[in-house]
C-alpha cells in the first residue's frame, strides 16, 4: 500500500481547493542563506482539507545545502500561515492521516474497482466530537464511525466526482471520509 515516508512535494501541487481556488507554487527562503527553496527541493506531505491545506516538509537549500523544516497552513486565498507544532509530530500525523498520491513510477497493484457512489446518510454514522472545519454551515467531523469502522475526514466531494476509492465513505452532506489504516 502507500508508503509512509516523506514524498516529493511536487506531487501535491497544484493544490486544488474544493471552492475552485488553486495554489500552484510554493517556496520558502533558506533559513541560512536566504535563497528561495522551491518545491522540487522539498519532501513531505500535504493534507488537503475543506478550507485549508496543511503542509509539513523537509526543505534542502540548493545553494548552501542547509536542511530545514517547513510547517505551515495554506488557505484558499494563498495565505501561508506558519504552524507552531513540533515538526516531527506534524509530519507523522499528516503522513498517517493523508491520502498519498501515487507516484508516476509506482504501479498500482491494489487499484480496486471503484464502487458506485452511494452516499451514507448522516444519521447512519456516529460522528467524532473533533471538528476540522465548516462546510455549508455544518461542522465537519474529524472522523465518523460507520458499521463499526472509523473513517477520517478526507475532502469535500466535488460535483464532478464519479467514483470513490474502495476505502472511502461518502456522507450525504457532501463530505468524503477515508477508512482509517
The binder of Zn ion chosen from 23, 42, 50, 61 (CB under 5 A): 61
- The reply to whether 64 sits near Zn ion by the rule CB under 5 A is yes
**C-beta separation of 164 from 176 below 8 A:** yes
Query: From the CB of 165, what's the least distance to Zn ion, in Å?
Result: 39
In degrees and rounded to multiples of 5, residue 116 shows phi and psi of -70, 155
**C-beta separation of 48 from 155 below 8 A:** yes
Distance CA 142, CA 18 (A): 17
Contacting range for Zn ion; rule: CB under 5 A; set: 18-26, 54-62, 83-91, 160-168: 54-62
State the CB neighbour count (10 A cutoff) for residue 121: 9
- The reply to whether 138 sits near Zn ion by the rule CB under 5 A is no
Query: From the CB of 72, what's the least distance to Zn ion, in Å?
Result: 18
The binder of Zn ion chosen from 2, 22, 33, 111 (CB under 5 A): 33
The CA–CA distances, whole Å, from 151 to 19, 34, 175, 181 equal 23, 42, 11, 9
Cβ-based nearer residue to Zn ion, 58 or 145: 58
The binder of Zn ion chosen from 23, 30, 72, 140 (CB under 5 A): 30
State the CB neighbour count (10 A cutoff) for residue 55: 25
The binder of Zn ion chosen from 3, 4, 24, 32 (CB under 5 A): 32
Contact footprint for Zn ion (CB under 5 A) = 30, 32-33, 35, 61, 63-64, 66
Amino acid at each position: 500500500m502507500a508508503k509512509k515516508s516523506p514524498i516529493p512535494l511536487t506531487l501535491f501541487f497544484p493544490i486544488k481547493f474544493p471552492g475552485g481556488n488553486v495554489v500552484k507554487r510554493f517556496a520558502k527562503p533558506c533559513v541560512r542563506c536566504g535563497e528561495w527553496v522551491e518545491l522540487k527541493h522539498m519532501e513531505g506531505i500535504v493534507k488537503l482539507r475543506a478550507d485549508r491545506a496543511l503542509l509539513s516538509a523537509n526543505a534542502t537549500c540548493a545553494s548552501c545545502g542547509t536542511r530545514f523544516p517547513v510547517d505551515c497552513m495554506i488557505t484558499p486565498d494563498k495565505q501561508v500561515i506558519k504552524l507552531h507544532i513540533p515538526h516531527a509530530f506534524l509530519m507523522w500525523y499528516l503522513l498517517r492521516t493523508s491520502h498519498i498520491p501515487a507516484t508516476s513510477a509506482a504501479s498500482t497493484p491494489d487499484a480496486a474497482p471503484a464502487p458506485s457512489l452511494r452516499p451514507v446518510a448522516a444519521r447512519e454514522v456516529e460522528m467524532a466530537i473533533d471538528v476540522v472545519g465548516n462546510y455549508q454551515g455544518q461542522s465537519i467531523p474529524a472522523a465518523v464511525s460507520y458499521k463499526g469502522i472509523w473513517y477520517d475526514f478526507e475532502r469535500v466531494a466535488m460535483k464532478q466526482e464519479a467514483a470513490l476509492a474502495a476505502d472511502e465513505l461518502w456522507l450525504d452532506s457532501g463530505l468524503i471520509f477515508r477508512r482509517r489504516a
